[in-house]
Amino acid sequence: MVQLISVDSVENLDSHAFASILNALLTAEADYRNVPLTDLDLTLRISDPDAGIDGRINWPKDVEHDVLAAGQNVVQYKSGELTISQLVKEFGKPGVQAALSRSGHYVLFVGRAYVKRDRETRAAKLKSLCEAAGIAPGLCTILYGDQIARWISRFNSVVIRPELGLGYPAFVTVELL
């Protein structure tokens, strides 16, 4: 078994590497759960106008998951810190609002880990934003760097990716640029 990924490995990723790792993680999870890869719409074109959506996943109703919900999940990646004002801005983007208005689920992946008090502050703000928009708060989730690190640790194929910099020479991925 490969070692557990530390939260530092996730917190130190820049925005492109963070998106690359999350795309690999979501793809590995879908493959493990036998979710058709055609139900994943992920990209590394993070600087393109996307109305706040970095990926879409249609998760099957018969496959339980602790993060992804049955139906459409829209995902957004935010490497580094997430301020309350950034949370308000990201939540208000048109793609996020459109998905939520159709009872889709919104998962915001944040590269930084926060202590309980700071998580609760962000969760309370997200809940109030949902309620003000007439959206069920249960449709929105924030996942933090330490949680992402534990999830990555489940998949050796993601752990060995060069973005994490762990340097497992026997396992090298090759990508064409």
pLDDT of the residue at 1:
45
Task: Provide the angle, in degrees to the nearest 10, between the axes of the packed helices 116-132 and 84-91.
Answer: 30
The phi and psi torsions of 45 (rounded to 5 degrees) equal -85, 65
Distance CA 41, CA 43 (A): 7
Question: Which tokens sit at 146?
Answer: 């330490």
pLDDT of the residue at 168:
66
pLDDT of the residue at 171:
58
* pLDDT lower than 70: segments of the chain: 1-3, 46-50, 167-177
pLDDT of the residue at 44:
74
Q: What is the DSSP secondary-structure string of 78-113?
A: E-S---HHHHHHHHTSHHHHHHHHTT-EEEEEESS-
Residue 171 is given by DSSP the state S
Return the residue matching tokens 């935010």: 78
pLDDT digits (tens, 9 = 90+) for 21-55: 999 999 999 999 999 989 999 987 766 666 778 89
Distance CA 83, CA 90 (A): 10
pLDDT of the residue at 83:
96
